[in-house]
A and B are shown apart, each in its own frame.
Chain A
């Protein structure tokens, strides 16, 4: 898979697995999982500086990783204005145009606010960001975000942290069919087979966090997601066989076994 390059705007990525850095038991566990996953794009969040929690500052550990880009998110933003501000702050640190735009004001379900996300995307594109919006699996919204210049769209598989998998599969298939920008399934995935399934549908990448961070062995799960994502991509490129309503024999149905009864 070394020649399979994903282009997001002007960025080229050698891995179709994006990894979140939240919820890990330690920075060391996170770094090991990032390495094992082969990811080249990790998300980070912004939080107020606290001298007593200096160990939570990931800038140092992440900047030591080779070939891994940082994608700041806008988590915590309740509306478009706050998201734009968070993106600008993130860019100051990442020194990169890439931003994961996420606005989910309701802590109960953490589902994206499509209207605020759309408004923020317009402003961020204007400010030359490469915008990757986290969105409901809504084909109309995905197309509208593409039309205004988003570099990719990131429909959810299920609510953040639920591990309920590709519950939006039918809508994601429509998004993939219509999209001219990369489609990244973000949130909800639990197992590498779900990452493979998303890739087999023609998604361009998957973004996982909890599935790896909350695994018993995060590094091993990172490696498993790497394999699952690659297998799904390979299968998509190989072209899956068509389905059939009736059986289609794989072996010749000749009648030589009963020939001597005649």
Chain B
């Protein structure tokens, strides 16, 4: 499945859920916040939310900031 993840093209080869995408990319789900096509998706729904072709996914983590 072709996706755009954090602005870059990505071909997802898992089962198409958000949880599978995070695992594929090596992201810690407990440390990650996520948007699909501009909508914030709470982590409770990641196992059951299926992505679609050409979805734009943003994965964010906490970093230092003032």
Which residues does A use to contact B, with CB under 8 Å? 20-24, 30, 43-51, 56-60, 62, 70, 72-73, 75, 85, 88-90, 92-94, 160, 187, 207, 209-210
Contact = CB atoms under 8 A, between A and B. Distances in A.
16 contacts: A22-B64, A43-B65, A45-B62, A46-B63, A48-B7, A48-B58, A49-B32, A56-B63, A58-B63, A59-B30, A62-B62, A85-B40, A89-B35, A89-B60, A93-B33, A94-B62
Nearest to A60: B31
A256 to B, nearest CB: 60
Given A49-B25, A88-B40, A92-B43, A56 B60 contact: no
Among A23, A49, A94, residue most surrounded by chain B Cβ atoms (within 10 Å) = A49
A51 B60 contact: no
A127 to B, nearest CB: 11
Given A89-B35, A89-B40, A46 B66 contact: no
A51 B34 CA distance: 15
Interface of B: 6-7, 25-28, 30-35, 38, 40, 42-43, 58-66
A23 B31 contact: no
B65 A21 contact: yes
Query: What 8 A-B pairs are tightest by C-beta distance, nearest first?
Result: A45-B65, A20-B66, A209-B66, A49-B59, A22-B64, A59-B31, A92-B33, A21-B64
Nearest to B38: A85
A93 B42 CA distance: 10
B61 A57 contact: yes
Contacts of B28: 57, 59
A244 B40 CA distance: 58
Contact of B66 (A56, A73, A93): A73
A59 B43 contact: no
A75 B65 contact: yes
A74 to B, nearest CB: 10
A46 B62 contact: yes
Contact of B27 (A24, A51, A72): A51
B34 to A, nearest CB: 8
B60 A46 contact: yes
A210 B59 CA distance: 27
Given A49-B60, A85-B35, A21 B66 contact: yes
B35 A51 contact: no
Contacts of A210: 66
A239 B38 CA distance: 51
Contacts of A30: 64
A216 B32 CA distance: 32
Contacts of A49: 6, 25, 27, 32, 59-61
A67 B5 CA distance: 35
Nearest to B58: A48
